[in-house]
Amino acid sequence: MSLFSAVEMAPRDPILGLTETFNADTRQYKVNLGVGVYYNEEGKIPLLRAVAEAEKARLETQGPRGYLPIEGVLTYDLAVQKMLFGQDSPLLDDGRVVTTQSLGGTGALKVGADFLKRLLPNSVVAISDPSWENHRALFESAGFPVKTYRYYNPQTYDVDRAGLLEDLQQLPPRSIIVLHACCHNPTGLDLNAEDWHQIIEVIKTCGHVPFVDIAYQGFGEGIEEDALAVRLFAQSGLSFLVSSSFSKSFSLYGERVGALTLVTQNADEAQRVRSQIKRVIRTNYSNPPTHGATVVANILKSPELRVLWEEELTSMRSRIQSMRLALVQALASRGAKQDFSFIARQRGMFSYSGLTAQQVERLRVEFGVYAISTGRICAAALNHKNLDYVADSIVKVL
Ligand code: PMP
């Protein structure tokens, strides 16, 4: 028997698998709304001008390729902290915050999960129902049982606020609660300040551990506005974790630019936590890559490039919002039997369209319009060229 003869085939990633099927589809007209990336009006992943300029400058000045420190580019880590907590946060002055560069948001979640498993070996992790499909697998692979808390109410196309709070209260004390700071993936439904205050109260009472995932800062309402949840947790006095991803906001998917941040109670605690996080990284991939984080740090610290980047981020955000409105209008003007106005109230790249698995299947088979079977569509994959076709197709399957 050969070494690998008993290895079973792992299931295909549902979202990446859909793109493979889309690529193999030979129909002339097809639209992939199943993707998890921002496409511009031309249907392409943009290379931001701020990124191109920072890369050009870097090429001209780059030195030898040594290893980075375990925690990555230090100016980058500081820039991430300022984005999360604001320019003048007392937390930063007090030395209570630990940030390490990570391999995207996924890497931040994984390093955080491995660290927490050592600290709280008997805790349970709770993710929203539904959530980004990798959350469950990631925390399970770190050894945690993963439960869900209610989030989406399909009857109201809104957050099930009462259900969410009730479920958080019923979890065992010291549960790790994974929360989407903004642009909830997959529903596009976010929590408001009042919701966050209530969640923070429950978390305090139950002794839970918040792990805030912020993968779309700047895609919802704006850089500062989208940090609301992080800032409220910072004010709450709780200790918590944050995973940041800059894959979308800098359109740097393949460069794996993310960060793990931990807010501790004092500088001494922070030092000890930092030493343990470094140990997790060291025994995992040793130290992170240089390019993406250096580019992001250089953009954030250059006044000109920062302004340029903020303009580009604003235009990505506005384009998605205008495509949401255009889709709602296109469906209404075609006499859609349902009211789709909720799509315009959602934020970020994704939208729970309310389409059923059967309708999604018909969209693909009959019209070559690809979406996730849960009804998730990527609003950022819509553009003025494919909108009418998508709207025509949706109306036909309702
Ligand atoms: N968290 C959420 C909610 C996400 O949607 C994603 C990416 N789709 C990530 C984390 C991971 O980000 P990255 O690609 O930077 O690893």
Q: What is the pLDDT of residue 143?
A: 98
Q: How far is the CA of 192 from the centre of ligand 1 (A)?
A: 21
**Which of 136, 245, 350 gets mutated to test ligand 1 (max ligand atoms within 8 A of its CB)?**
245
Q: Is the CB of 213 under 6 A from ligand 1?
A: yes
Q: How far is the CA of 248 from the centre of ligand 1 (A)?
A: 9
Q: Is the CB of 298 under 6 A from ligand 1?
A: no
Tokens 């927490």 appear where? 116
Q: Is the CB of 102 under 6 A from ligand 1?
A: no
Q: What ligand 1 atom has the least distance to the C-alpha of 180?
A: 3
Q: What is the pLDDT of residue 17?
A: 84
Q: How far is the CA of 102 from the centre of ligand 1 (A)?
A: 12
Among this protein's residues, is 268 annotated catalytic?
Answer: no
Given the residues 77, 190, 213, 226, select the one marked as catalytic: 213
The DSSP call for residue 71 is: T
Long-range contacts of 139-147 (CB under 8 A, 24+ apart): 139/109, 139/113, 139/176, 139/178, 142/110, 142/113, 142/114, 142/116, 142/117, 143/117, 144/113, 144/116, 144/117, 144/176, 147/171, 147/175
Q: What distance in Å separates the CA atoms of residue 255 and residue 246, rounded to the nearest whole number? A: 10
**Which of 185, 260, 347, 350 gets mutated to test ligand 1 (max ligand atoms within 8 A of its CB)?**
185
Label residue 119 by pLDDT band (50, 70, 90): very high
Residues contacting residue 254 through CB under 8 Å, at least 6 positions apart: none
Mean pLDDT over residues 123-131, rounded?
Answer: 98
Q: How far is the CA of 62 from the centre of ligand 1 (A)?
A: 29
Q: What is the pLDDT of residue 154?
A: 93
Does residue 243 contact residue 105 with C-beta atoms inside 8 Å?
Answer: yes
- Beta strand pairing call for 257-263 and 369-370: unpaired
Q: Is the CB of 185 under 6 A from ligand 1?
A: yes
Q: Going from the N-terminus, what domains does the chain have, and what CATH number goes with each?
A: 14-47+306-397 (3.90.1150.10), 65-301 (3.40.640.10)
CA-nearest residue for atom 10, ligand 1, is 105
Q: Does the structure show a pLDDT above 80 at 4?
A: yes
Label residue 337 by pLDDT band (50, 70, 90): confident
Residue 74 structure tokens: 């230090």
Label residue 101 by pLDDT band (50, 70, 90): very high
Q: What is the pLDDT of residue 353?
A: 95
Mean pLDDT over residues 304-325, rounded?
Answer: 98
Tokens 């994704």 appear where? 350
Q: What ligand 1 atom has the least distance to the C-alpha of 213?
A: 1
Q: What is the pLDDT of residue 12?
A: 81
pLDDT in tens, 221-273: 999 999 999 999 999 999 999 999 999 999 999 999 999 999 999 999 999 99
**ipTM, 2 decimals?**
0.99
**Mean pLDDT of the chain, nearest integer:** 96
pLDDT in tens, 34-68: 999 999 999 999 999 999 999 999 999 878 889 99
Q: What is the per-residue burial (b if ≥16 Cβ within 10 Å, else e) of 6-28? A: eeeeeeeeebeebbeebeeeeee
Q: What distance in Å separates the CA atoms of residue 160 and residue 158, rounded to the nearest whole number? A: 6
Q: What distance in Å separates the CA atoms of residue 34 and residue 340, rounded to the nearest whole number? A: 19
**Which of 109, 134, 214, 216 gets mutated to test ligand 1 (max ligand atoms within 8 A of its CB)?**
134
Q: How far is the CA of 36 from the centre of ligand 1 (A)?
A: 9
Strands (E), the chain: 31-32, 97-103, 125-129, 146-150, 152-153, 158-159, 176-180, 209-214, 240-245, 257-263, 350-352, 369-370, 376-378
> Measured between alpha carbons, how far is residue 383 from residues 190, 248, 317, 320 in Å?
24, 18, 13, 9
Q: What is the pLDDT of residue 61?
A: 87
Q: Is the CB of 132 under 6 A from ligand 1?
A: yes
Given the residues 132, 160, 167, 226, select the one marked as catalytic: 132
Residue 125 structure tokens: 């992790």
Q: What is the pLDDT of residue 16?
A: 80
Q: Does the structure show a pLDDT above 80 at 14?
A: no
Does residue 326 contact residue 387 with C-beta atoms inside 8 Å?
Answer: yes
Mean pLDDT over residues 104-125, rounded?
Answer: 98
In this prediction the pTM is: 0.97
DSSP 182-219: SS-TTT-----HHHHHHHHHHHHHHT-EEEEEES-TTT
Q: Does the structure show a pLDDT above 90 at 159?
A: yes
Task: Give the count of beta carbons closer than 10 Å to the beta carbon of residue 255.
Answer: 21
Q: How far is the CA of 280 from the centre of ligand 1 (A)?
A: 20
Specify the 3-state DSSP secondary structure of 278.
helix
pLDDT in tens, 168-202: 999 999 999 999 999 999 999 999 999 999 999 99
Label residue 96 by pLDDT band (50, 70, 90): very high
Rg (CA), the chain: 21
Among this protein's residues, is 196 annotated catalytic?
Answer: no
Q: What ligand 1 atom has the least distance to the C-alpha of 253?
A: 14
Q: What distance in Å separates the CA atoms of residue 273 and residue 105, rounded to the nearest whole number? A: 19
Q: What is the pLDDT of residue 62?
A: 79
Tokens 């501790």 appear where? 264
* Nearest to 267, CA basis, from 132, 28, 56, 90: 90
Q: What is the pLDDT of residue 113?
A: 98
Q: How far is the CA of 101 from the centre of ligand 1 (A)?
A: 15
Among this protein's residues, is 147 annotated catalytic?
Answer: no
Q: What is the pLDDT of residue 11?
A: 85
Q: What are phi and psi of 257, to 5 degrees?
A: -110, 110
Q: Does the structure show a pLDDT above 90 at 13?
A: no
Q: What ligand 1 atom has the least distance to the C-alpha of 184?
A: 3
Does residue 153 contact residue 163 with C-beta atoms inside 8 Å?
Answer: yes
Does residue 248 contact residue 377 with C-beta atoms inside 8 Å?
Answer: no
CB-neighbour burial class of residue 361 (10 A; exposed 0-12, middle 13-18, buried 19+): middle
